[in-house]
Structure 1
């Protein structure tokens, strides 16, 4: 059975002005710290950090641009999380090295990213689903599936980006892991591959003994990539389930409502409001 999500009522002009003040305050504070970081990077001649700061400023401006272009209102909670996520990933994570200083920082951000991107994918399809210009209506299960697939696709594209940066720009976005044991295969006398377990007891690099320094085989990104995709998957599943029940019960879920934009001046909205007044 197919459902049409009724959604939330568009905010009043007073509510919009109040939200704009709050978001401008948060975005302004974060942008101020980004500019300070960029000035510090300029004095230190860290031009790659200047690029990251410029990218962060552009990303901080995107939600407002998207709202104006699509005539939607992004809920304050979602917009605030997006701003904080951008600052935590680009400034704290990349420039201030939180990815290496704080254990689990990368895992936390990738989990949140999976959740947020699933919310964005859900919103994009839900906007079409609620529009009067389209005749088709998608089921809640299909909406949740699209949100999940959208989130995982973005996650994979991001890993492509990290790999490309590491190969071309010689960065270390795909963090290394020290592996103390590996599993491989060995060709037995019968010509068949036999699984073998190999504990790593010594590490020789360029004829030098690195056993004490490394303690094992240095993985160059595979474990980090798979871990990032796994936690991205967890975040994507979490919101897909929330979004499914939100649409299933015609927009009554409070959690999903905090992440789903409201269409401003939606066709038919005035008629619904007139019926409610009567």
Structure 2
């Protein structure tokens, strides 16, 4: 409720500022806030309180703080931290889907802890890839620049090989790049503009880190549920599951 009140206040402010994009982000955030409770009411799945709190904070940090208040630009590691958390949470969800089937008498199939954690890891990485597809699509079709560009000082490319051979040419210590537009205007960049590739690969790399972290906790949890119960705080369960 506290987060919802903050979002509503932010939405009112965005309305008076005439920021329609910010207004849409606030509405989207309020809709996303409803998903955890909606899942619990419409399914037999019980979300742990810790998981629900982290999900709500994640949405708030990404949409309100990150997009509207530009925490992505103000804090260097804001985006990276959220992608690590995304990898962790997605692995927890993937883990829960297999673990539920593995423990229910109706669907019972015996799977080793290694296999379950591998599925959770792969599920998390797939979610990460799909998100990068979404960012790319928004950038191409709606000019959003969700894949943040970066200025780099080094190019390694076979396109620059004068003989057309498959041997890369290396340009180092690039100081400036001049971009000439159709109207004759020139834009000077302090380096070479990378169009999102580095951002995408960093996002996938830190998503990998988050997925690995949960996979380790998940594996230990499967080996000894009573001793290593930290992972259980992030694993959805059936409300009346018949545990094996």
TM-score using structure 2 length = 0.91
Cα distance, 1:251 vs. partner? 5.0
- In the TM superposition, 1:1-278 aligns within 5 A as 28-185=1-158, 187=161, 192-199=165-172, 200-206=174-180, 210-211=187-188, 214-267=189-242
Question: For 1:158-201, what per-residue CA distance to the aligned partner results, in whole angstroms no more than 9, with x for missing partners?
Answer: 11111111111111211110011111235476x74323220223
Unaligned runs of 5+ in 1: 1-27, 273-278
Rounded Cα–Cα distance in structure 1 between residues aligned with 2:102 and 2:55: 24
Runs of 4+ in 1 over 3 A off after TM superposition: 186-189, 207-211
Q: State how many pairs are aligned.
A: 239
Contact kept, 8 Å, 1:129 with 1:138, in 2: the verdict is yes
Task: Give 1:68 shift.
Answer: 2.2
My pick for the range that moved more, 234-243 or 41-50, is: 41-50
Counterparts of 1:218 and 1:208, CA distance in 2: 17
Query: Is contact 2:93-2:236 (8 Å) kept?
Result: no
Secondary structure at 2:234 match in 1: coil
Compute the displacement of 1:82 (Å): 0.8
Q: How far apart are the structure 2 equivalents of 1:77 and 1:250?
A: 17
1:136 to 1:205, Cα distance in 2 relative to 1, 3 A: same
Q: Is the 8 A contact 2:100 2:238 kept in 1?
A: yes
Contact 1:202 1:209 in 2 (8 A): no
Instruction: Give the RMSD, CA atoms, in angstroms.
Output: 1.9
Greater CA radius of gyration, 1 or 2? Answer: 1
Structure 1 residues 93 and 215: alpha-carbon distance in aligned structure 2, compared to 1, 3 A threshold: same
SS of equivalent residue, structure 1 residue 205:
strand
1:64-121 alpha-carbon deviations (Å, 9 max, x no partner): 1112223232222211111111000010001111101111100010011100111111
Partner of 1:17: none
Contact 1:203 1:209 in 2 (8 A): no
User: Is the 1:41–1:47 contact (alpha carbons within 8 Å) kept by the matching residues of 2?
Assistant: yes
TM-score calculated relative to the size of structure 1 = 0.80
Is the Cα contact below 8 Å between 2:101 and 2:108 reproduced in 1? no
